[in-house]
Homo-oligomer: A and B are copies of this chain.
Amino acid sequence: MQRTRLDTDRIRAARRVIDPVFLDTPLYRCEALEPELGCAVSIKLETANPVRSFKGRGTELVASLLAEHGPRAVVCASAGNLGQALAWSGRGRGLDVTVVASRFATAAKLDRIRALGAGLELVDGDHELARERAADIARCEGIRLVEDSLDIETCEGAATIGLELVEAREQAEQTGPAGPAELAGPAELAGPVPPFDAVLIALGGGALATGVGHVLKDLAPGVEVICVQPLGAPALTRSWHERRVVTTDSTDTIADGVAGRRPIPAVLNDLLLVADDAVLVQEASIVAGMRLLLDHAGLVVEPSAALGIAAILEDRDRFAGRHVVTIVCGSNVDGDAYRRWVGAAALPHRA
């Protein structure tokens, strides 16, 4: 592999700095999903922690470095999850955290940022305007700007998920197909199920994808790294396919966590080195993915966390008979919106 900005030894060291509450998250096969999807599916669950998303892995790294060496004041732009995680990590270390967000951001995320004691400034525009405003604040006030996906800590924090995946895969290989989790589920999977051979990763700014992708390509290069973005927010996926930064004028998706318009060149460069594919999915598939995860896995997820399931739904042939991991990266939803998405028709079990 050509060198990305990330470093596997630094990622290993990061695990000693991140609060254990964010590490060693559940990874388990979810057979109840499989008849609908036609492949073996394992879930890497990043929602069972104090901020309900994977972002704490990166903000723990950022905040611990700042607490040791840096300024005590920090600002970030966020669709909500990074801001909530930075507020949590900063509070524990006495940092002064400001979050800039779109006033259209998910209310539940904004509520939690406030509840965690961070300053919250709303801009009358989308996430890209929030990014500009956060940069202005950092410049004017001379405080630290945390830029999601550009700051290497946000990528390397997320990359610790990759280490956990690789370690689990090595264990599964040692146990062999006779292990308890390895027997057949649906008809498509008759016979032993091998260790996973693909990982589906939500693609937003790129921290999660470049982080997990870097570790997989370094330590388990045979595993396919597939990024998934909504058709309504395709900038980084298009950039990956055209091998140059492509921006869009707007976004139109319920997947608020991944709705960027202006990819960061350095992140694209890394993504070009570690991703095997980047695919776009429709809104209806994202909603169908959320419903499947609720009905068959008992999981409440935010739209970004259903992108992987959406990708399988849109291309069952590609995954047929394989073993796929999808990272369930967040569960911060507004109740009303969630109820609309997964609605009454979505719960098929009849008593």
Which residues of A pack against B, CB within 8 Å? 19-21, 24-32, 43, 45, 47-50, 52, 60, 88-89, 91-93, 107-108, 111-112, 115-116, 171, 179-183, 185, 294-295, 298-300, 331-339, 344, 346-351
Contacts and interface: CB of A to CB of B under 8 A. Distances in A.
A351 to B, nearest CB: 5
Q: Is the interface of A mostly helix, strand, loop or mixed?
A: mixed
Contacts of A336: 347, 349-351
A91 B183 contact: yes
Contacts of A28: 21, 48-50
13 contacts: A19-B180, A21-B26, A26-B48, A32-B115, A50-B181, A91-B183, A92-B181, A107-B350, A107-B351, A294-B300, A295-B335, A298-B332, A337-B351
A347 B351 contact: no
A57 to B, nearest CB: 13
Contacts of A349: 107-108, 111, 334-336
A222 B45 CA distance: 33
Contacts of A25: 26
Contact of A298 (B111, B182, B300): B300
A223 B27 CA distance: 30
A52 B298 contact: yes
Nearest to A106: B351
B298 A333 contact: yes
Given A21-B181, A92-B182, 8 more contacts: A20-B171, A111-B349, A298-B331, A298-B332, A300-B300, A334-B349, A334-B351, A339-B344
A30 B50 contact: yes
A179 B32 contact: no
Contacts of A108: 349
A105 B110 CA distance: 41
A29 B50 contact: yes
A92 B179 contact: yes
A180 B300 contact: no
A92 B180 contact: yes
Nearest to A112: B32
Contacts of A47: 298
Contacts of A111: 349
Contacts of A181: 19, 21, 50, 92
B21 A49 contact: no
Contact of A347 (B27, B116, B185, B339): B339
A177 to B, nearest CB: 11
